[in-house]
Structure 1
Amino acid sequence: MILPVPATPLHPLPRLARRLGLGPEDLWVKRDDLTGLAGGGNKARKLAAIVADALAKGCDHLVTGGGAQSNHARMTAAAANLAGLGCDLLLTPGDDSGNLLLDRVLGARIHWLDGGPLPYAETEAAIQEHARELAARGRRPYAIPIGGSSPLGASAYADVGRELAARLDPGLVVVAAGSGGTQAGLAAGLGDHGKVLGVDVGARPGLAEAVQELAAEAAALAGLPAPRGRCRLDTGQAGAAYGEPTGPALDALRAAARTESLLLDPVYTAKAMAGLFAAAREAPRGTRVVFVHTGGLPGLLASRYAGWLTSGRPDDAAAGPAAAAEPS
């Protein structure tokens, strides 16, 4: 395998659970931030399947895109290097910090999307057009959708869903939902949309419909029946726009860091953890909750978030257990 994905830890978070008023065995984390591949993250699983497909089809170039702090773009550049492929990234403008700095270190060719952030569909169209331009110049490109969220990419997360079902049988799995592929794959593996709560970070319009469709396609590729039920989304954590920080996300980020030394990022995982905080307050007592950590540490180090992270704002997000002081 060109891109081996190591087994990642699954362990309880007893100190954070106590802060939320949960039992010590009620809150767990699946550490897919530890997949390796130039900093780690959930995209390693998707890219392992996607790159294998690109090589099988004789492609010599990967093309994808997203925001300046795209974890998927950074990991695609890394995957291309390991597979001996070229890599072109179509990105919204940003300063050279965080993921964007690593894109440059990894040697990807960066093409700026004009006029600042483009709507999701227009960015997808730009990826396809750039691939066509490369093909016209004699290259053999493989166009990867935003976030690697093709049915093939999503199907990689069916394995994680099955692992969680076999090891813990969780009542609820919480994950950041950007392009929707990871949530879709988890639902396919668990066999039930009702067990997976995606926390919408504001990246993709029509996200619920996309997850529903991807989950059925991912399940079919994995040899599984389509998951029952309907997609579950928390749409209240995104804030003003994709990538814009929020108060609840800052509180969740600090709480995870100061109880479990678990580092989250402003764009995805901190908002997902804020969604978990809200869901945990409503879940029946004794529900086993799993947080799927999708990575994103380079985004935490992006210069645009430095002031937000070091602000004097108190940990006051949710009056209730989440805001209580951690016992010494």
Structure 2
Amino acid sequence: MVQLSRFPRYRLGHFPTPLEPMHRLTAQLRERYSQVPNLWIKRDDCTGLATGGNKTRKLEFLLGAALAEDADLLITQGATQSNHARQTAAAAALCGLDCKLLLERRQVRDEEYEHSGNVLLDGILGAEITERFPAGTDMAAAMERVAEQARAQGKRPYVIPGGGSNPTGALGYVGCAQELDAAEVPVDWIVHGTGSAGTQAGLLAGLHAMGSGARVLGVSVRQPEQHQIGAVHALGARTAELLGCRDTLPREAVHVDDRWVGGGYGVPTESMVDAVRLLARTEGILLDPVYAGKGFAGLLGGIAEGRFGAGEHVVFLHTGGSAALFGYRETFS
């Protein structure tokens, strides 16, 4: 039995999120392919925190820990159009905390990318963007420097890693695993875009702790397959240990597909654009161009290859982030 109630938590989101069938998409794909599973979507874009997204689950436990330490300032980092930064800013506002964001220019695009979408929302939510850092910066060290400056000014900072991806944050996706384990259908596969590893690690730790047979496929949006497998497994094992699991999470439980990254993190691909348009025009659901768009492209590619059985129930985990679409207007115009 997984007991999340023993961990500090601050309620931020609307849970459980909906689990919806994708009828029109499934019907259209069955006109193309002979082996199409039963397709569902887990709407973690509907968590409710400043347009929602997967980081809300992680932030409930991270904010719980921060408030338990009497913090008055949140510090975190992410790419320019970071969904995590936007949700952290919203969580800080809701809890009455100050928030400093460090943004890394992992790619250089146009003025819309630099100032619209999530970046616009960061400012509206009251967060301070301390600096724009060049790609490849040691962002953990940069956050610690900002934290030291804050301490010298009498502040009590709580530093959140990029993506909220540590064992405390990953507890949020242990909760999601519990929701899926109790779903109306027997879930065979969960597919999603994987980046900082916390979402996939939390899902795997939760499923492992419950003895579930559901498998998780992370479609990498940044790192090569073996690197991502190592990162997910290491964090998943630490999260399972935090839960009190007696046996170690097996490395072979970690499935990653890195073929949909394209030119790199946040760099548009034709398959991503096609995936975003397909889901929008069949189910009326908007994906984001960095995580969910490439994750959904990986799901479609797996269906085309016959990776999933025709009778299986496959859940696409929508991690949110459609606000970032406004930074990619030229890509979709």
Do both proteins adopt the same fold according to a TM-score greater than 0.5, normalized to the shorter chain?
Answer: yes
Tell me the TM-score normalized by structure 1: 0.87
- Distance in 2 (alpha carbons) for counterparts of 1:213 and 1:29: 27
Task: Give the equivalent residue in structure 1 for 2:14.
Answer: 6
1:180 to 2:197 alignment: yes
Task: Give the equivalent residue in structure 2 for 1:169.
Answer: 186
Task: Give the equivalent residue in structure 2 for 1:104.
Answer: 123
Q: 2:154 aligns with which of 114, 135, 138?
A: 138
Task: Give the equivalent residue in structure 1 for 2:221.
Answer: 201
Amino acid at match of 1:144: I
Query: Cα distance, 1:80 vs. partner?
Result: 0.7
Query: Cα distance, 1:207 vs. partner?
Result: 2.3
Q: Which has the higher contact order (CA 8 A, sep 6+)?
A: 2
Bigger shift: residues 53-62 or 215-224: 215-224
Task: Give the equivalent residue in structure 1 for 2:318.
Answer: 293
Q: How does 1:11-50 map onto structure 2 within 5 Å?
A: 11-21=20-30, 26-50=38-62
Amino acid at match of 1:75: Q
Query: Cα distance, 1:226 vs. partner?
Result: 4.1
1:95 aligned counterpart, secondary structure: helix
Tell me the TM-score normalized by structure 2: 0.86
Deviations 1:182-232 (A, max 9, x none): 011111122279710011111699322111011112223334454343421
Total equivalences in the alignment: 305
Q: How does 1:53-68 map onto structure 2 within 5 Å?
A: 53-68=65-80
Bigger shift: residues 139-148 or 280-289: 280-289
RMSD (Å) for aligned C-alpha atoms: 2.1
Query: Cα distance, 1:127 vs. partner?
Result: 1.6
1:20 aligned counterpart, secondary structure: helix
Q: 2:265 aligns with which of 238, 242, 267?
A: 242
Deviations 1:261-283 (A, max 9, x none): 11101111110000101122322
Q: 1:227 aligns with which of 249, 268, 283?
A: 249
- Distance in 2 (alpha carbons) for counterparts of 1:123 and 1:307: 29
1:264 aligned counterpart, secondary structure: coil
1:156 aligned counterpart, secondary structure: helix
- Distance in 1 (alpha carbons) for counterparts of 2:49 and 2:276: 23
- Distance in 2 (alpha carbons) for counterparts of 1:201 and 1:124: 20
CA gap 1:169/1:221 in 2 versus in 1, 3 angstroms: farther
8 Å CA contact retained: 1:188, 1:226:
no
| Identical residues among aligned pairs (%) | 45
Instruction: Point out where structure 2 has 5 or more consecutive residues left out of the alignment.
Output: 1-8, 106-112
8 Å CA contact retained: 1:190, 1:227:
no
CA gap 1:194/1:118 in 2 versus in 1, 3 angstroms: farther
Query: Cα distance, 1:153 vs. partner?
Result: 0.3
1:36 aligned counterpart, secondary structure: coil
Instruction: Point out where structure 1 has 5 or more consecutive residues left out of the alignment.
Output: 311-328
Query: Cα distance, 1:5 vs. partner?
Result: 2.2
CA gap 1:176/1:153 in 2 versus in 1, 3 angstroms: same
Amino acid at match of 1:127: M
Amino acid at match of 2:236: A
Amino acid at match of 1:178: G
Task: Give the equivalent residue in structure 2 for 1:117.
Answer: 135
Query: Cα distance, 1:25 vs. partner?
Result: 7.3
2:114 aligned counterpart, secondary structure: coil
Query: Cα distance, 1:11 vs. partner?
Result: 1.1
